Chains A and B, each alone.
Chain A
């Protein structure tokens, strides 16, 4: 008996010592890490790095890395090195939330660039608001993000503008008053679909059919058959480029000759490869970013990008790049805490980004002009009548 007891005692003692050592180690690690912090400013990035949507994440990553490299080469922020910590959202809201929690609790970042998809941004917005962490989305466009909170910003224009401009263009400029809609079922697709439907109705137009698809689908023939039955002169495709490319090909194979319209996510160089000649003549709305522009700031960006990646920067890359640059600018002007960055962002006026002059309104939405473009001879060009 006594033997057993003393054994138990011994075990308890060792266990106690073990706990003390682990805790001490953790404290030491924590303190040394905290001491290191002034050497660098950490910001987080939440993007889909694996899974179905990882191609969008890779695009953003290229833009972000280029911007960070530039900032650190050109005198850093207040003389402190900028470091980016990537966390994977897999394009899914729940993974985005855990990525955000990790960035805040483990790395204590004052600002996060992300998410790419509207659904992810909407899911992480409440956390960013509660922890006073600035959230700057490079590519989310859902109208709900405008009201998501004080700390939520974006450099991509809201769909409210896009849907309205497209509705206006189709009915008033082209005189087509019957449109079929094919949209993705995520927040992006539904967001634009709602704005467009409302505005198009107000302008006196008639929506012949609204069809949808899940992201990742690759057979759209049945939806297109249903659309074909209503014989619309115009079809508005809302979604992301890989599905859009597939839809355009299958529509052409089915012999649909309507005029196609699409959204700002359409302008991705890969789309032209995927869709081939089926993309010819599609009209879409896009933010002011033109990689072929002769403006100096855009030329330097495109040249640097091509030197680093041997690729042309697409629209996502450019917005991700601008997001980092404008954030760094705000940090330089305001300070490096969440509140200081937020206040500085609201004061920014006409910051010269590669995607146009950046100013934020009181909701954190960027105010940027949009324009209408089309595809001709496998090139994205300005639309002219």
Chain B
């Protein structure tokens, strides 16, 4: 165990040193771009991990919760502009983030209650759960498309300003918001998992569901909590990205894949691993396309995934072997 732990630390240091070398020889802007992209990947990956740890299957509908978060933000902002009328106050952004995160959490719980709970009652296999989660993804994506149409929407309507100059790079207010909010959410999650009773119970269920049940932890309650928290994080990522880019019903799939890759790189089931994996992926993609053509961006992510699956399937921090993964 400790041998493996040392190995992981060594690997992380090695890889992040390589990234550091890259950041020294490329413009600082690329590092910034990578960190911002990475923080979104990390948020999705953490949410995915929180759910995966308690239920043990790949919850693909996580990607549509991300999309729903963005559309919720859109709905709240259009509502705000109708009711309050005034343009973009700080208070509005806070309300948007709060409502969006809460709404995404509720959506996650609803998905679990409506689809996964009946399947759990029937003791369905993990494959069934996987297919069901794809079904939920497609269903909700089409639902969003029915309500809002396929066209692209945008929340940003104000004038476009040049960002702040910072060590030769340019960073915008929105990007700072993305970074700060995602770091706050990561810290809150860490505190929750480490300090609260519910968080400890979640860890217990992740470690050994049978033993947790024996000592009186209600697994259903833990599953609901995981879905609420995990989905809230995905929703937060969706809201943050909606401040920055356009939103459309199909926006969720690619970030979902990146989030899952980040999970696997970081070690599936490990929350710190998801954070490391997310930032690593964001940086690697952006450093990669600094030297080669940007059309290869997605390819870089998948090549990294394949390298990890071949050489180190347990990722940075994972303790499970590849057999247990499947």
Report A's interface with B, CB cutoff 8 A: 50-52, 54-55, 57-58, 185, 211-214, 216-223, 225-226, 229, 242, 245-246, 248-249, 252-255, 270, 273-278
Contacts and interface: CB of A to CB of B under 8 A. Distances in A.
Interface string B162-192: 1101000010100000000000000000000
Among A221, A248, A274, A278, the one with the most B-chain Cβ atoms within 10 Å of its Cβ is A221
A218 B238 CA distance: 13
B14 to A, nearest CB: 24
A236 to B, nearest CB: 16
Given A55-B151, A242-B246, A253 B289 contact: no
Contacts of B289: 222-223
A217 B152 contact: no
A254 B29 contact: yes
A380 B30 CA distance: 34
Interface size classification for chain B:
35 or more
B154 A225 contact: no
Nearest to B157: A276
Contacts of B245: 218-219, 246
Contact of B156 (A57, A223, A225, A276): A276
Interface string B130-174: 000000000000100100011110101111111101000010100
Interface string B186-218: 000000000000000000000000000000000
Nearest to B251: A218
B79 interface: no
30 contacts: A51-B250, A54-B150, A55-B151, A58-B150, A58-B151, A212-B293, A213-B297, A216-B250, A216-B254, A217-B297, A219-B33, A222-B29, A222-B30, A222-B286, A222-B290, A222-B294, A225-B33, A226-B290, A245-B154, A249-B156, A252-B161, A253-B170, A253-B172, A254-B170, A270-B151, A273-B154, A274-B152, A276-B157, A276-B158, A277-B160
Contacts of A273: 154, 157
Contacts of A222: 29-30, 33, 286, 289-290, 294
B27 A225 contact: yes
Contact of A214 (B142, B246, B290, B298): B298
Contacts of B297: 213-214, 217
Contacts of A229: 27
Contacts of B251: 218
Contacts of B241: 218
Given A185-B295, A212-B294, A246-B246, A253 B161 contact: yes
A276 B159 contact: yes
B97 interface: no
B37 interface: yes
B60 to A, nearest CB: 17
Interface string B42-60: 0000000000000000000
Given A222-B33, A242-B246, A252 B295 contact: no
B295 A254 contact: no
Given A55-B152, A222-B33, A253 B295 contact: no
B246 A252 contact: no
Nearest to A183: B295
B29 A221 contact: yes
A135 B158 CA distance: 43
B160 A253 contact: yes
Main secondary structure of the interface of A (DSSP, over half): helix
A223 B100 CA distance: 31
A214 B156 contact: no
A124 to B, nearest CB: 22
A355 B248 CA distance: 29
Given A225-B29, A226-B290, A252 B160 contact: yes
Interface centre among A219, A220, A229, A246 (most CB of B within 10 A): A219
B203 to A, nearest CB: 34
Contacts of B165: 255
B166 to A, nearest CB: 12
A147 to B, nearest CB: 26
Nearest to B154: A274
A213 B294 contact: yes
Nearest to B289: A222
Which 9 interchain pairs have the tightest Cβ spacing?
Answer: A54-B150, A218-B245, A278-B160, A221-B33, A225-B29, A55-B151, A185-B295, A255-B162, A212-B295
B246 A55 contact: no
B162 A253 contact: yes
Interface string B220-246: 000000000000000000000100111
Contacts of A58: 149-151
Contacts of A50: 142, 145, 150
Nearest to A278: B160
A239 to B, nearest CB: 12
Nearest to A214: B295
A255 B33 contact: no
B160 A254 contact: no
Given A51-B250, A254-B163, A255-B170, A219 B37 contact: yes
Contacts of A213: 294-295, 297
Given A52-B248, A252-B160, 20 more contacts: A50-B142, A50-B145, A54-B150, A211-B294, A213-B294, A214-B297, A219-B245, A222-B29, A222-B33, A222-B286, A222-B289, A222-B290, A222-B294, A226-B290, A229-B27, A245-B246, A254-B162, A255-B163, A255-B165, A255-B170
A253 B156 contact: no
Nearest to B245: A218
Contact of A274 (B142, B145, B158, B246): B246
Nearest to A53: B150
B244 to A, nearest CB: 8
A277 B27 CA distance: 28
B294 A52 contact: no
Contact of B293 (A211, A254, A275, A278): A211
Contacts of A51: 250
Nearest to A242: B152
B179 to A, nearest CB: 14
Contacts of B30: 222, 225
Contacts of A220: 294
A228 to B, nearest CB: 8
A223 B27 CA distance: 12
